[in-house]
């Protein structure tokens, strides 16, 4: 990543957002801050519910020329006119997913804190990898994707990298020169005014 470039924003929805109320909330955020990509998280396993929210968010995103990817559900990508999929288990399914969706689809892979998984995902055909949690958290086993991982990646690997998980202004400022994207989700959706919360985090990019 060139030193003159600033990281872009990759917006992540709340887990299984309401197809009735969330699209309007999302639209307000998209209309106030430039977003490069939107990712639909799907805690529910109800296929009909996922389809409803995918259709609603696709319309909101595509009206603004923003691609929409979905967590894990490869078979729903073409069915609902989505732009790709974000895989949650490192490099394991990247090659199979790329073959299923074709060259034009977006295929991303979350690789936790593993440099090896990131490299393997790239070799298997991923368009990007994400590492995290990038910020301090007591969730999970407490592991963290350290700044050194992002610094190494930005120096050695051309494939875009995303920093995600427990992001705050301090972490964003620390990683701004060594990541291509920040994936921001719960950090803003838990606030009363998500658009304003996002603007505060964006200011930390510099």
Instruction: Please say if the pLDDT value at position 3 is more than 80.
Output: no
In this prediction, residue 193 carries a pLDDT of 97
In this prediction, residue 2 carries a pLDDT of 35
* Tokens standing for residue 118: 């990131």
Give the DSSP letter of residue 122: H
Q: What is the pLDDT of residues 24-66, one digit of tens each?
A: 999 999 999 999 999 999 999 999 999 999 999 999 999 999 9
Question: Which residues are 185's β-sheet partners?
Answer: none
Q: What is the pLDDT of residues 118-152, one digit of tens each?
A: 999 999 999 999 999 999 988 778 899 999 999 99
* Tokens standing for residue 32: 């106030």
CA distance 23 to 165: 23
H-type alpha helices, the chain: 22-30, 47-62, 75-79, 94-101, 115-124, 147-156, 169-175, 186-189, 194-203
CATH classification of 8-203, choosing from 3.40.50.300, 3.40.50.2300, 3.20.20.70, 3.50.50.60?
A: 3.20.20.70
**Residues near 162 by Cβ (< 8 Å), separated by ≥ 6?**
10, 108, 128, 129, 130, 131, 179, 180, 181, 182, 183
Kindly indicate the confidence band of residue 16, based on its pLDDT and cuts at 50, 70 and 90. confident
Q: What is the pLDDT of residues 154-186, one digit of tens each?
A: 999 999 999 999 999 999 999 999 999 999 999
**Inter-CA distances, 163 with 4, 81, 110, 114, Å:** 18, 26, 10, 13
* Tokens standing for residue 61: 């995103």
Kindly indicate the confidence band of residue 4, based on its pLDDT and cuts at 50, 70 and 90. very low
CA distance 177 to 205: 9
């Amino acid at each position: 990543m060139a030193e003159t470039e600033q990281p872009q924003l990759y917006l992540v929805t709340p887990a299984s957002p309401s197809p009735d109320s969330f699209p309007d909330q999302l639209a307000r955020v998209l209309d106030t801050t430039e977003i490069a990509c939107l990712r639909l998280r799907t805690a529910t396993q109800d296929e009909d519910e996922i389809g409803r929210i995918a259709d609603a968010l696709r319309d909101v995103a595509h009206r603004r020329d923003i691609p929409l990817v979905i967590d894990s559900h490869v078979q729903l990508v073409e069915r609902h006119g989505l732009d790709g999929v974000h895989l949650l288990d490192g490099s394991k399914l990247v090659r199979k997913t790329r073959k299923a969706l074709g060259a034009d689809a977006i295929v991303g892979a979350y690789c936790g804190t593993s440099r090896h998984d990131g490299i393997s995902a790239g070799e298997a055909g991923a368009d990007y990898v994400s590492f995290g949690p990038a910020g301090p958290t007591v969730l999970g086993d407490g592991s963290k994707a350290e700044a050194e991982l992002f610094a190494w990646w930005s120096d050695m690997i051309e494939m875009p990298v995303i920093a995600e998980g427990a992001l705050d202004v301090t972490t964003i400022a620390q990683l701004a020169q060594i990541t291509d994207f920040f994936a921001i989700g719960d950090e803003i959706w838990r606030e009363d005014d998500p658009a304003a919360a996002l603007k505060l985090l964006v200011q930390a990019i510099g």
